[in-house]
Structure 1
Amino acid sequence: MAATGLVTGPRRGGVDPVLALRLVLIVVVLALWQGMAMSGLLYRDVVPGLGAIAAALVQLAGSRDFYGNLGVTAAEAGLALAVGGLAGLTVGILLGGSRLLGRAFERYLYWLGPTPKIIFFPVMIMWFGVGPGSKVAMGALSCFFPVALSTAAGMRGIAPVLIRVGRSFRAGPLQMVTKVYLPAMREPVLNGLRLGLGIAIIGVLLAETKLSNRGLGFLVMQDYQRFDMPALYALLISIFAMVIAVNALVTRLAAKRPPTRAAAARTGRIP
């Protein structure tokens, strides 16, 4: 019988084409980088060779200063996600659960969301000082909008039968949130948090590059001012790798399916 579908995975004993394409892309990028470093087309040491960057990565991995500053940035980004994410969840549930509030205020989130948040950093400095507070505020403000908008959209996608089940059990507002709303919109909430985390890290790093004496953003500017390009690129690669790892973890959590609506309707239980 002739095959009617597309091949979506590797053949048995063969090579995964997706993995092969990714490896080819990495090899091509590295080759182009090394070729640019050897060509002399740019100023000297602006594009260091791969060997110099690899040596800087090894040195960075053994640096106590790097881990200390990493802890500062991680704490600021984590606190920013907690504050901005909780505020975004609250606002998103209110806007998504009320047609009146959604029509009245959600448009403001769409208008303000794309605004570059770094323009508010001077205000954050005046409000929270030059310490970690202003960096946390920048990250929280940055991650608030994707979490709120994603939560509001998820609220509107909840099956009415789940809400009726919750109300039939006389669940209070807090129980409706924890037992009905959040489990039912788990995927959009996690996607919003994933986007919010990335933007929170960007906000914290940008704030650290502007005014700080600790954190990864401070290290980036320090390497730039010393014109230590291998160390700068090694630091950037480390930041990218860590953000990709965290993003992959949250994506995997979002991919796990919650109990289906049909199962909840059959059992009559709040998932």
Structure 2
Amino acid sequence: MSTTATLPAKPARPATTTLRDNLWRAAVLTAIVLAWAALSAATDLVASPAASMTALAELFTNGTIYRHLNSTLQAVAIGFLIAAAIGFPLGYTIGRSKFLGAVFDPIIAGAFAMPRVIFFPILLQIFGVGEGAQAAMAALAAVFPIMVSTTAGVRAINPLLPKLARSLSLTPLQTITKIYIPAMAPSLMVGIRIGFSIAFINVIIAEFFAARAGLGLLTLRAYGRLDLPTMYGIIVLLATIALIGNLALWALERKLAKTT
């Protein structure tokens, strides 16, 4: 007898529907580029798409961007992993306990509403200027949405599932991996996607304030030189990274939804 909580498989999306959605996405992106081109033609304050892409390609060609790209991605990855390692256990524990929920829910809600950037000077004192402070900033920003979504996912679990685990004599670890995690998957993935986005945003913000390397710092330097093509090119790169990351997590979420 299978010990994994399963739901009826969702019907596959028709190929024509998927094609239609992709065409609409392409149309939206095309419209954005056309609007950008029209705006750049109307004012010198906006670099054209062609000039921006040329400047970005030059950064890759001469190797200038790699150190900054690596710094940003490493800070996001480390900070996000730390946030997940802290947020999942805490969210699970709070979600399982009515007492802890009553104590910590208002505290977490209040902390979630605070702009995390106000803590960056403290992080600079602790970690110094560099990737450590950026990663800590990402972790501090991402831990709350992961924790909140995990807590909500635990509380939304069907009360019959824990009884099923006890009837099957599952260990606590088996209960979590075979019962709770599959049932919590949709809520968990929402928290992961939001956590990734917030971690990415806060790393860039931190790089604007104090950093030795990073795409945020590179963007700020380009703005200081009024090198608008380079600035817009890096902004496009940042948007592309964020889009790819969210699409990958969205695809993982849909895959889990089909198997749980």
In structure 2, the partner of 1:26 is 29
Query: Which protein shows a greater Rg?
Result: 1
- Percentage identity across paired residues of the two chains: 30
Contact 2:129 2:212 in 1 (8 A): no
Match of 1:87? 86
Match of 1:65 in 2: 64
Alignment pair present for 1:108 and 2:107:
yes
- Gap change, CA 1:251 and 1:208, over 3 Å in 2: same
Indicate conservation of the 8 Å contact 2:82/2:139, yes or no: yes
Return the alpha-carbon distance in structure 2 between the equivalents of residues 75 and 11 of structure 1: 39
Shift of 1:259: 5.0
Check whether the contact 2:137–2:202 (CA below 8 A) recurs between aligned residues: yes
In the TM superposition, what are the counterparts of 1:35-46 in structure 2 within 5 Å? 35-40=38-43, 44=44, 46=45
Structure 1: unaligned runs, 5 residues or longer:
1-7, 261-271
Q: 1:248 to 1:20 in 2, by over 3 A?
A: closer
Structure 1 residues 189-241: Cα deviation after superposition (integer angstroms, max 9, x where no partner): 12101110110111111111111111111211121112111011111101111
Specify the alignment match of 2:216 in structure 1.
217
Mapped contact 1:60–1:235 kept (Cα < 8 A): no
Letter of the 2:97 counterpart: S
Whole-angstrom CA distance in 1 between matches of 2:195 and 2:16: 38
C-alpha deviations, 1:20-70, integer Å up to 9, x for none? 444443333333322222224xxx3x2122221121132233242312221
Q: Which runs of 5 or more residues in structure 2 are unaligned? A: 1-12
TM-score by length of 1: 0.82
Q: Distance in 2 between matches of 1:222 and 1:184?
A: 47
TM-score normalised per structure 2: 0.86
Match of 1:125 in 2: 124
Relative to 1, partners in 2 of residues 1:103 and 1:258: Cα closer, same or farther, differing over 3 Å? farther
1:179 matches 2:178: yes
| Paired residue secondary structure (1:159) | coil
Letter in 2 for 1:237: V
2:103 is matched by which residue type in structure 1? A
Q: How far, CA to CA, are the matches of 2:88 and 2:31 in structure 1?
A: 42
Q: Aligned partners of 2:15 and 2:250: how far apart in 1?
A: 23
List aligned pairs for 1:1-271, cutoff 5 A.
17-40=20-43, 44=44, 46-256=45-255, 257=257
SS at match of 2:102: helix
SS in 1 for 2:235: helix
Task: Output the CA distance in 1 between the equivalents of 2:125 and 2:19.
Answer: 54
Larger RCO: 1 or 2 (CA < 8 Å, sep 6+): 2
Matched residue type, 2:193: R
Counterpart Cα distance in 2 of 1:49 and 1:138:
33
Residues 159-211 of structure 1: per-residue CA shift (max 9 Å, x gap): 22321232334444334333332222112112101110110111111111111
Per-residue CA distance 1:238-270 (angstroms, 9 max, x = gap)? 11111111111111111122655xxxxxxxxxx
Shift in Å at residue 105 of structure 1?
A: 1.0
Please give the secondary structure, in 2, of the residue aligned with 1:113. Answer: helix
* Structure 1 residues 258 and 30: alpha-carbon distance in aligned structure 2, compared to 1, 3 A threshold: closer
The alignment of Structure 1 onto Structure 2 pairs a total of residues equal to 247
